[in-house]
Amino acid sequence: MSPLNSEIQRVDLPYQAAVRNFETAVRAFQKQNFRKAAEIFEKLVESEVRDVAERARVHLRLCQERTRRPATTPRSADEFYAQGVASLNRRNLELAVEQLGKADKLKPNQDYIRYALAAAQALLGNLDAAIEQLEAAVTLRPENRIHMRRDEDFRGLASDPRFQRLLYPAGA
């Protein structure tokens, strides 16, 4: 291979990589996996390959439009619970406590709601509130002890004697 041909191939490598990535993103877009496509298009927008960057910009806008959903106002306990768990997973803890509290008011004495509330309170450092919610969750469904033992959200409670008593009650 002549030095000129190897130079041309080196110059084409960024272009070829950008085109391959663009094609991957388009396939994700066609499968309606807009979030994955958007991730790839976002990277391509910064590409030095201008024509690919411009096309990626257009497709990125389309992905953003397709993923933008109107915010729905929860109406049921299950909807508040689902949003609360999503907030908990995003570590938006104050919002999680608010949403889960609303779920609990609409549908009181549900072990899964109390358990999620306990996790949010524990992560916030509100240990008394977390223990109170865990006590309710375990009273309503003793099998929650099994989950508590492995749940990283309760790491801050591990040395608390009240938590230990909940995990390993005397006589059990």
* Section 44-65 average pLDDT: 89
For the chain, give the mean pLDDT.
89
Residue showing tokens 């990589």: 17
Tell me what pLDDT residue 90 has.
87
Q: Give the domain ranges of the chain.
A: 3-67, 77-167
Q: Over the range 2-41, which residues count as b (16 or more CB within 10 Å of their CB) and which as e? A: eeeeeeeeeeeeeeeebbebbeebbebbeeeebeebbebb
Distance between CA atoms of 100 and 17, rounded to whole angstroms? 46
pLDDT of 4 above 60: no
pLDDT of 49 above 60: yes
* Section 107-129 average pLDDT: 97
* Section 147-157 average pLDDT: 94
Window from 3-12, 67-76, 123-132, 138-147 with minimum mean pLDDT: 3-12
CATH assignment of 77-167, given 1.25.40.10, 3.40.50.720, 1.20.1250.20, 1.10.3470.10? Answer: 1.25.40.10
First to last CA, the chain: 78
* Section 7-32 average pLDDT: 83
Could you write out the three-class secondary structure of the chain? Answer: CCHHHHHHHHHHHHHHHHHHHHHHHHHHHHCCCHHHHHHHHHHHHCCCCHHHHHHHHHHHHHHHHHHCCCCCCCCCHHHHHHHHHHHHHCCCHHHHHHHHHHHHHHCCCCHHHHHHHHHHHHHHCCHHHHHHHHHHHHHHCCCHHHHHHHCHHHHHHCCCHHHHHHHCCCCC
Tell me what pLDDT residue 71 has.
57
Task: Name the pLDDT band for 33 (thresholds 50, 70, 90).
Answer: confident
pLDDT of 172 above 70: no
Task: Name the pLDDT band for 79 (thresholds 50, 70, 90).
Answer: very high
Tell me what pLDDT residue 74 has.
86
pLDDT of 152 above 90: yes
The phi, psi pair for 95, rounded to 5°, reads: -65, -40
